[in-house]
Amino acid sequence: MFRQTGGVTGPRSAVVVNPVKVSDQDLLRRTIGEGLASAGWPAPAWHETTPEDPGRGQAEQAVRDGAELIFVYGGDGTVMAVVNALVGSEVAMAVLPAGTGNLLAVNLGLSGDAATGVRVALEGGRRWIDVGRVEDQCFAVMAGMGFDAKMIEGTSDLAKKHLGWLAYVGGAVRHLRYRPMRVRIVLDGGAPMRRRPRTVIVGNVGRLQGGVQLLSKAQPDDGRLDVAVLSPTSLAHWASLGWAVLMRRERVPLMETYTAERIEIYSARVEPRQLDGDLIDPGRSMTIGVRPRALLLCVPQPASDPDSA
């Protein structure tokens, strides 16, 4: 749908931006505005996130105002907030790479700068992807319980600002001896699997910070989620597991993988938990479902891509 605004015809758009992540907001405004103007699109509405609202309320307001496309500029937390606002709608989301990891951007080939992100949106590549759901929150990349959430908890914002994704390496090293969990894992209502893992990761896509491919078969539009159960018990085990992942070996020691539409994790003690790299309240359980093809994304399009439009 195209609308005419001030003599300019094109879809309405909005920008949800985390101002903390922007070094030059005037430059960002010019980059987006000039890119849209070059294609005959009207100027976008501008919404800044706040500490109290990391982006969901701003995106919901933009939709109420008639936006058909929402650009997101911020870290993974900002992206997740906007995902929660747009799930189930036909409003497209365009991720402009920023922040430490932008895991969704990396997984879907959206690397580059803001100008590149605007160009991707203008080229018209669109893809419907699945989202995971935990309680009343959705995620587009990964959910985790145990060590991975502990690693995030132990990584400071200051370190992320100066080191980027490498900051997580320090957080990981500090918690390599984090004690194993005692869990029951139930996949699609099947028999409980009892394990002593360090972490359980449920992914809609497969790449972690730094482009590390953990779940090589994960597809964001297959209607299923991929599960990795990591159970190293020593530093040597961690080294062996990490090397196998980095080398993209088909079999990774001390890591089991599964796929399911519903994943239930029950722990004997309270554990840290995370969604898309943002911590949520610790808990003793985590029930994760999938909403198939519930989010419309702007993606680089080869013309032959059957999911593009």
- Could you read off the pLDDT of 168-198 as tens digits, one per residue? 566 566 667 678 999 999 999 999 999 999 9
Helix (H) or strand (E) holding 72: strand 69-73
CB-side neighbour CA atoms (13 Å) of 55: 26
Which domains, from first to last, does the chain contain?
A: 3-123 (3.40.50.10330), 137-290 (2.60.200.40)
* Beta strands, E only, 6-80: 8-10, 13-17, 45-48, 69-73
- Residues 232 and 237: their CA atoms lie apart, in Å, by 5
- Mean predicted lDDT score pLDDT of the chain: 86
Contacts of 217 (CB under 8 A, 6+ apart): 206, 226, 257, 259
Which residues are paired to 4 by β-bridges? 9
With cut-offs at 50, 70 and 90, classify the pLDDT of residue 66: very high
pLDDT at 158: 63
In this predicted model, what pLDDT tens digit does every residue of 247-267 receive, in sequence order?
777 778 889 999 999 999 999
Per DSSP, helices labelled H in 182-257 are 235-246
- Classify residue 233 by its DSSP letter: -
d(CA 300, CA 309): 11
Tens of pLDDT along 268-296?
999 999 999 889 999 999 999 999 999 99
**Which pairing describes strands 13-17 and 69-73: parallel, antiparallel, or unpaired?**
parallel
Q: Which two tokens stand for residue 55?
A: 């982006």
